[in-house]
Amino acid sequence: MPKKDSHFFEVSFEVGNKVGGIYAVISSKAAEMLKTYGNNYYAIGFYDRSKAQYELISKDAGILRPVFDDLDKEGIKCYYGLWNIPGKPRCILLDVKDFMHKCNDIKKYLWETHKIDSLESDSWFEEPVVWSYAVGLLLERLRGILDSDMVAQFHEWMAGVALLYLKDKNVDIASVFTVHATMLGRSIAGTGGDLEKMIAEGLAKKKTVDRKVAYDYHVQAKHQTEIACAKNSDVFSTVSTATASEAEFIIGKKPDMVLPNGLDMQKFPSMEKLSYQHKIEKDRFLSFLSAYFEPYYNVNLKDPRIMFISGRYEYHNKGLDVFIDALGKLNEKLKKEKYTQHTFAIIAIPSDVRGENLELLENFSLYSELEDHVDEILPALKWNIIRSLTHGEYTHKTLLEYLDSQYAKTFKRISLAFKSRAGKNPPLCALQLNYPEKDDSILERLKHNGLFNREEDIVKVILYPAYLSSADRLLSMDYNSMLVASSLAVFPSYYEPWGYTPVESAAHGCISVTTDLAGFGQYMMRNMDEKKDKGIRILRRSGKKYNEIVSDLSDIIYEVTTMSEQEIIMQKHNAKQLSMLTGWDRLATEYMKAHRMALARHKKRCGMKST
């Protein structure tokens, strides 16, 4: 364990600046880091004014003020305070807009010193690189005023230039470089390349990827930055065994350590509370399904199975192709078996949209109006029935006459509006896309599989191409509520360095599917008994033909779809229990080992005595 008085700096472009999954890694881990480092733990990130107003609680800089004033003269403005996350660690955000004029000088330095070719780079490379260089300047100056061991962990290539600067300047700070996914690996997988085969064959021959391949995918600057950082760090780490093999082949260096991603399990509700919330959220979702489908035809909403998939619109990497093909196979099987219980699949993949589907919006407005009228009727109807019965006057006719006299016009108007939908299919997409539907890969795949939301289809599908929010006018549920309402979350990824979504799903008591190509899937294969643990399912993709994968996933979904309510409850409890294996209280110790290793190697490299 590092000494209590050691200073540790967590450096990421996503500190106080949520962009992707690394934000979740660092923000959820901070409380555990504070247990070791206390007030000597600092998170360093990128200053985005629109986000910083919520992320940073400003505080007086104290002894750091002279350093900040010095950097301000160079165009680097440092914002200091507490990061507004659990534990509230000390945080420094760097605004480099007045330092961007140094961009070409920094790129020149990177080429001359590390052969990083950024000639064709754009702002997606340049802004993080300038920010990271500024972080290097900050840490160099902090080294001058802090009298203790210092360790810094740099997440991804975006933070890596700071590491290179410190190494080149021989600054007395131990370094850990963590790659969460290689830029080239993600690019190859995302365009349909057989990355798994490339890695296996390359490592078997003890070869690394050809340097020219990065140019083919136009990621050479980022790729070469990763290589330089891995080579110059005291400890090179990654987040899973899957990414370790990828890094060894793509970057050309075997990671020293694997540091699995965890979550703060204390923030998730208990299973007792989740059981209560499940009924509430499922009832809300059933109201949504009723408004979505009932205007067109009757659907069976008596305890239906609800499943969903979510994530970035990476069609191949996220396994959307496999998921949709499995749904098509499942639909045909259930129809042949004359299964009567409908299954609903929600595809929550954000895309470019301009608003709700107007026909659906009208349906939901009418449905809401109908609910309001029924709620209004019930008290009067109750007393009308009681009065009729106590006076011995009750007949079906008197009840119908009462409803007809009071609400005939309203009900007829709403009924006629709903009848106009008869004979049509509910839309596959809940929102209007800003591009032709024929150009959307998900919608085309659904149609290819005969998933049109026809009355005879047992599997009903809704593409919801927006971030889930309780403020929208259709679903009106946030992501966590959707998790709680669902029975099954499916993430059949081809490329997933770790995979937070199945972990979060399981932590919300939802049966989850991951794969043996995902970092989380591989971690669970080593830490659970698949014969008895069914709350998290691991779909085998490695070395299998595509049709086999689709068939296996369809079988998994079929099993959950046809389970009894009691079986579902048992497996949801098991999912919650298994999710605890990824708590930071269990995994943070690996980070401490990495920091200790970095300090020892740094001191040895510098000829210093290790303490």
307 plus 170 within the same structural domain: no
Residue 2's pLDDT band (cuts 50, 70, 90): low
Assigned domain for 178 exists: yes
Assigned domain for 558 exists: yes
159 plus 41 within the same structural domain: yes
**Domain containing 78: what range?**
7-263+585-605
Question: Strands 459-463 and 343-348, how do they pair?
Answer: parallel
What is the predicted pLDDT for the residue at 172?
A: 97
Q: What phi and psi values does residue 97 have, to the nearest 5 degrees?
A: -60, -30
Residues sharing a CB contact under 8 Å with residue 559, sequence separation 6 or more, in sequence order: none
- 501/224 Cα distance (integer angstroms): 30
* Tens-place pLDDT, residues 349-366: 999 999 999 999 988 888
Task: Indicate if the pLDDT at residue 229 is higher than 80.
Answer: yes
pTM: 0.90
Task: Indicate if the pLDDT at residue 166 is higher than 70.
Answer: yes
441 plus 546 within the same structural domain: yes
* Tens-place pLDDT, residues 174-228: 999 999 999 999 999 999 999 999 999 999 999 999 999 999 999 999 999 999 9
Assigned domain for 610 exists: no
207 plus 117 within the same structural domain: yes
- 581/578 Cα distance (integer angstroms): 6
What is the predicted pLDDT for the residue at 397?
A: 63
64 plus 20 within the same structural domain: yes
151 plus 242 within the same structural domain: yes
402 plus 520 within the same structural domain: no
123 plus 228 within the same structural domain: yes
- 365/382 Cα distance (integer angstroms): 26
- CA 311 to chain centroid: 6
What is the predicted pLDDT for the residue at 406?
A: 60
Number of domains observed in the structure of the chain: 3
382 plus 346 within the same structural domain: no
Q: Which amino acid makes up residue 393?
A: E
CATH code where residue 461 lies: 3.40.50.2000
Assigned domain for 396 exists: yes
Residues in the chain: 611
Task: Indicate if the pLDDT at residue 66 is higher than 70.
Answer: yes
Assigned domain for 143 exists: yes
Q: Which long-range contacts (CB under 8 A, 24 or more apart) does 370-377 make?
A: 370/414, 373/407, 373/410, 373/411, 373/414, 377/403, 377/406, 377/407
Judge contact between 306 and 344, C-beta under 8 A. Answer: yes
Assigned domain for 561 exists: yes
Assigned domain for 595 exists: yes
Q: Which of 101-115, 120-134, 359-373, 406-420 has the lowest mean pLDDT?
A: 406-420
* Radius of gyration of the chain, Cα coordinates, nearest whole angstrom: 28
161 plus 225 within the same structural domain: yes
Query: Percentage of the chain surpassing pLDDT 70?
Result: 93
* Tens-place pLDDT, residues 586-596: 999 999 999 99
211 plus 67 within the same structural domain: yes
Assigned domain for 1 exists: no
292 plus 386 within the same structural domain: no
